[in-house]
Structure 1
Amino acid sequence: MRPIRPSGPHDSILARAALGTARAIGHACRWCHRRRYELAPAAASATLTGLSWLHHFNGVSVVEHLMYAAVTATASAGAVFALNNKHKSFATGAASAAAVLGDTWIGAGLGPSIPSLIATGLVTGGAYVPYMRWLTRERQDRLKLQVAAAKAGVGAEALGAGTYSALTGASPEETKLMQALVAMLSIPAVDVTALEHTRFGWRAVVVLPPGRDTAPAKVIARREQLSTNIGLPGKLRLAKGARDNELVVFMYETDPLAQTLAWPGPSTTTCREPAVLGMDAFGQPVQIPLLYNHVLIGGASDNGKSSLQSVLIAYVAACEDAEAVLIDLKPGAVELGPWDPCALSLADSPAKALHTLEWLWAEVQRRGELMAELGRRQGKPVKKWIPGVHGPAIFVFIDELAELMRQLPNAAKLLESLLQVARFTGITLVCATQSPSNRVFGGNTDGRQQYQVRIGLGAKESTTANLIFGPGAYGDGWCLDELEGPGYFLRWDRDNQVPVVSRAFYMDEDEIGATVHRYGREEARVEAREHPAHTPDPDDDPTPPQPPTPPGPGGPGGGRPVLRAVPTFPDGTPIADERHLALWQAVEAAGRDGITIDNLVALGLPEFNARSSVNGPLSQWRAKGWVEHAGKQGRAMAYRLAPRKATVLAGAQASAASEESEACPASL
Structure 2
Amino acid sequence: MLPSHDSILARGAIGAAGIIGSACRWCARRRYEVAPAAAAAALTGLSWLHHLDGVNLAEHVAYLAATAVGGALAAGGLKHKNKTIASAGAGGMVVMADTWIGAGLGPSVPSLIATALLTGGAYAAYIPWLVKSRQDRLGLQVKAAKAGVIPAGLGDNALAPGVTGATPEETALMRALVAMLSVVAVDVTSLDYTPFGWRATVVLPAGRDTAPQKVIARKDQLAANLGLGGKLRLAKGERDNELIVSLYESDPLASPIPWPGPSTTTCLDPAVVGVDAFGEPVLAPLLYNHVLIGGATDNGKSGIQSVLIAYAAACEDAEALLIDMKPGAVEFAPWRDSALALADTPSRAMQLLKEVWAEVERRGAILASLGEKKWVPGKHGPAWFVFIDELAELVRRVPQAAKLVESLLQVARFTGISLVCATQSPSNRVFGGSTDGRQQYQLRIGLGAKESTTSNLIFGPGAYGEGWCLDELDAPGKFLRWDRENQIPVEARAYWMTGDDVAATNHRYALTAQSEAREHPEHAPDPEDDPTPPRPPTPPSGGPGGGRPVLRAVPTFPDGSEISDERHVALWQAIEKTGAKGITVDDLVALDLPQFAARTSVNGPLSQWRRKGWVEEAGKQGRAMAFRTVPRRAVAAPPKAPAGSEPVRVGG
TM-score w.r.t. length of structure 2: 0.69
Q: Deviations over 1:312-368 (max 9, x none)?
A: 011111111111111101011111111111101111111111111111111111122
> What is the DSSP-based 3-state SS (H/G/I as helix, E as strand, rest coil) of the residue aligned with 1:301?
coil
Give the distance between the partners of 1:601 and 1:212, measured in 2 at CA: 65
Distance of 2:519 and 2:163 partners within structure 1:
66
One of 278, 296, 302 as aligned partner of 1:300 = 296
User: Could you tell me which residue of structure 1 aligns to residue 384 of structure 2?
Assistant: 394
CA deviation profile, 1:145-167 (whole Å, cap 9, x unmatched): xxxxxxxxxxxxxxx96447111
3-state DSSP of counterpart to 2:462: coil
* Conserved? CA contact 1:298–1:433, under 8 Å: yes
State yes or no: 1:514 paired with 2:504: yes
| Aligned equivalent of 2:398, options 408, 431, 434 | 408
Other-structure match for 1:96: none
- Give yes or no for the alignment of 1:448 onto 2:438: yes
Q: Does 2:299 correspond to 1:309?
A: no
Kindly indicate whether the alpha-carbon contact (under 8 Å) linking 2:406 and 2:437 is maintained by their aligned counterparts in 1: yes
Q: Do residues 576 (structure 1) and 564 (structure 2) align?
A: yes
Residue 270 (structure 1) aligned with residue 266 (structure 2):
yes
Q: How does 1:150-229 map to 2 (within 5 A)?
A: 162-163=158-159, 165-229=161-225
Q: 1:283 maps to which residue?
A: 279
Q: Structure 1 residues 617 and 498 mapped into 2: Cα distance closer, same or farther (>3 Å)?
A: same
Match of 1:538 in 2: 525
Q: Answer yes or no: is 1:468 the counterpart of 2:458.
A: yes
Distance 1:212 1:601 in 2: 65
Shift of 1:600: 4.6
CA offsets 1:28-55 (integer angstroms, 9 cap, x no match): xxxxxxxxxxxxxxxxxxxxxxxxxxxx
Structure 1 residues 241 and 652: alpha-carbon distance in aligned structure 2, compared to 1, 3 A threshold: closer
Q: 1:165 to 1:320 in 2, by over 3 A?
A: same
CA distance in 2, matches of 1:274, 1:398: 19
Query: Deviation of residue 439 (structure 1)?
Result: 0.9
Deviation at residue 253 of structure 1 after TM alignment: 2.7
SS at match of 1:394: strand
| Corresponding residue number in structure 1 for 2:606 | 618
In 2: Cα distance, 1:348 partner to 1:546 partner: 31
Look up the equivalent residue of 2:175 and give its one-letter code.
Q
- The answer for the alignment partner of 1:18 in structure 2 is none
SS at match of 2:247: strand
| Mapped pair 1:246 → 2:236 | no
Considering only CA atoms, is the larger Rg found in Structure 1 or Structure 2?
A: 2
- Structure 2: how far apart are the matches of 1:143 and 1:167? 13
Residue in 2 that maps onto 1:371: 367
1:560 alignment counterpart: 548
Structure 2 residue matching 1:195: 3-state secondary structure: strand
> Cα gap change, 1:630/1:264 in structure 2, threshold over 3 Å: closer, same or farther?
same
Alpha-carbon offset, residue 303 of structure 1: 0.5
- Secondary structure of the 1:572 match is coil
Contact 2:140 2:182 in 1 (8 A): no
Write the deviation string for residues 120-147 of structure 1: whole angstroms up to 9, x where unpaired: xxxxxxxxxxxxxxx9976235789xxx
Greater shift in the superposed pair: 293-302 or 167-176: 167-176
Give the distance between the partners of 1:560 and 1:605, measured in 2 at CA. 30
Q: Deviations over 1:3-52 (max 9, x none)?
A: xxxxxxxxxxxxxxxxxxxxxxxxxxxxxxxxxxxxxxxxxxxxxxxxxx
**Aligned equivalents of 1:234, 1:262: Cα separation in 2:** 25
SS of corresponding position for 1:505: strand
Within the candidate set 128, 134, 138, 1:140 is matched to 138
Aligned residues of 2:134 and 2:158 also touching (Cα < 8 A)? no
- Counterparts of 1:411-450 in structure 2 under 5 Å? 411-450=401-440
The number of aligned residues is 493
Return 622-631 or 319-328, whichever deviates more: 622-631
Distance 2:520 2:574 in 1: 37
Deviation at 1:425, TM superposition (A): 1.2
Deviates more, 1:384-393 or 1:604-613: 604-613
Among 298, 321, 332, the alignment partner of 2:328 is 332
For 1:531 and 1:343, the matched residues in 2 are separated by: 15
CA distance in 2, matches of 1:289, 1:494: 11
3-state SS in 2 of match to 1:140: helix
- The alpha carbon displacement at 1:185 in A equals 2.3
| Cα pair distance change 1:633/1:524, threshold 3 Å | closer
Aligned to 1:344: 340
Deviation at 1:490, TM superposition (A): 1.0
2:352–2:551 CA contact under 8 A, matched in 1: yes
1:504: which partner in 2? 494
Give yes or no for contact 2:319–2:383 (8 Å, CA) kept in 1.
Answer: yes
Distance 1:233 1:624 in 2: 67
In structure 2, C-alpha distance between the alignment counterparts of 1:605 and 1:524, rounded to whole Å = 41
Deviation at 1:398, TM superposition (A): 0.5
Indicate the residue corresponding to 2:632 in structure 1: 648
Q: 1:392 touches 1:530 (CA, 8 Å); kept in 2?
A: no
Moved more, 565-574 or 173-182: 565-574
- Per the alignment, do residues 385 and 234 of structure 1 end up closer, same or farther by CA in structure 2, a change over 3 Å counting? same
Contact kept? 2:389, 2:423, Cα under 8 Å? yes
Structure 1 pair 574/286, CA: closer, same or farther in 2 (3 Å)?
Answer: same
Report the Cα distance in structure 2 between the residues aligned to 1:397 and 1:291, rounded to whole angstroms.
13
Provide structure 2 residue ranges, at least 5 long, that are not aligned to the other structure: 1-10, 19-132, 143-155, 637-652
Task: Tell me the distance in 2 between the aligned counterparts of 1:383 and 1:354.
Answer: 28
Q: Is the 8 A contact 2:456 2:464 kept in 1?
A: yes
Amino acid at match of 2:310: A
The one-letter code of the counterpart of 1:185 is L
Give the secondary-structure state (helix, strand or coil) at the position aligned to 1:418: helix
Percent identity, please.
Answer: 67
SS in 2 for 1:332: helix
Structure 1: which amino acid aligns with 2:555? P
**CA displacement, residues 388-430 of structure 1 (integer Å, 9 cap, x when unaligned):** 1111111111100011111101111111111111111111110
| CA–CA separation in structure 2 for the residues paired with 1:266 and 1:319 | 9
Partner in structure 2 of residue 382 of structure 1 = 372
Which letter maps to 2:560?
G
Relative to structure 1, is the Cα distance of residues 164 and 338 closer, same or farther in structure 2, using a 3 angstrom cutoff?
closer
What is the TM-score when the length of structure 1 is the normalising length? 0.68
Q: Distance in 1 between matches of 2:327 and 2:561?
A: 16
1:478 aligned residue: 468
Alpha-carbon deviation of 1:212? Answer: 3.3
Equivalent residue, structure 1, for 2:74: none
Aligned residues of 2:137 and 2:158 also touching (Cα < 8 A): no
CA contact (8 A) 1:362 1:549 kept: no
For structure 1, the 5+ residue unaligned runs are 1-63, 72-134, 145-159, 376-380, 654-668
After superposition, the CA RMSD in angstroms is 3.4
Alignment check: 8 A CA contact 1:321 1:391 kept: yes
The one-letter amino acid of 2:550's match is: V
Specify the alignment match of 1:49 in structure 2. none
